[in-house]
């Protein structure tokens, strides 16, 4: 099982739409997957599920259990202010330590409305994941100018974007 994590809590996010697209690629390759959408996090989770409350919040625990169920992980991470969303870091911080991400194999897909394609976000997130004991697939996919590439049907307009995601998914399955 592969968990595809939409790395923002923004409702109806582009990250979620890319996660849906990625799930179809995995299905075409015969791989089972699930989507963990951070938009499903409880609004008050930073006060009710972290620190002395770790393990005590049922809604947060359900998402953490979803993460645990996947042996591999795809994180679709938008770039927010030259890094990854704070809600993603808070979610990671709320996972049991050193478990949660330890030992997982992860692929990263970066999104941005500008030309960097989430490069800085993926670089920062790679450091966090490796610190926590995850192995990060070197083949990271950058999706720049996502507003122009992502269409209303949830597909991608650019052949190169589709090709890169497919190649990454194949590499993740072999990783």
pLDDT tens-digit series, residues 129-168? 999 999 999 999 999 999 999 999 999 999 999 999 999 9
Find how far residue 101's CA is from the centre of its chain: 12
Q: Is the pLDDT of residue 53 over 80?
A: no
User: 28-49 pLDDT, tens per residue?
Assistant: 999 999 999 999 998 888 888 7
Say how many domains are in the chain. Answer: 1
Q: Tell me the CATH number at 38.
A: 3.40.50.360
| Average model confidence (pLDDT) across the chain | 94
Q: Is the pLDDT of residue 98 over 80?
A: no
Range of the domain at 160: 2-174
pLDDT at 141: 98
Kindly write down the DSSP assignment for every residue of 32-72, as one continuous string.
-EEEEEGGGS-TTHHHHSSGGGTT--HHHHHHHHHHHH-SE
Q: Note the maximum CA span of the chain.
A: 48
């Amino acid at each position: 099982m592969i968990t595809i994590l939409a790395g923002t809590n923004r409702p109806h996010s582009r990250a979620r739409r890319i996660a849906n697209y990625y799930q179809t690629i995995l299905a075409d390759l015969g791989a089972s997957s699930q989507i963990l959408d951070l938009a499903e996090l409880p609004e008050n989770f930073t006060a009710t599920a972290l620190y002395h409350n770790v393990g005590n919040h049922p809604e947060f625990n359900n998402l953490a259990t979803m993460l645990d169920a996947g042996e591999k992980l795809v994180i679709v991470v938008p770039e927010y202010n030259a890094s990854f969303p704070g809600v993603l870091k808070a979610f990671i911080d709320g996972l049991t330590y050193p478990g949660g991400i330890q030992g997982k194999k992860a692929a990263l897909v970066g999104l941005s409305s500008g030309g960097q394609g989430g490069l800085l976000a993926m670089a920062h997130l790679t450091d966090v994941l490796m610190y926590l004991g995850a192995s990060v697939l070197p083949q990271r996919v950058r999706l720049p100018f996502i507003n122009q590439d992502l269409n209303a049907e949830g597909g991608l307009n650019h052949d190169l974007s589709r090709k890169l995601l497919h190649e990454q998914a194949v590499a993740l399955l072999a990783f």
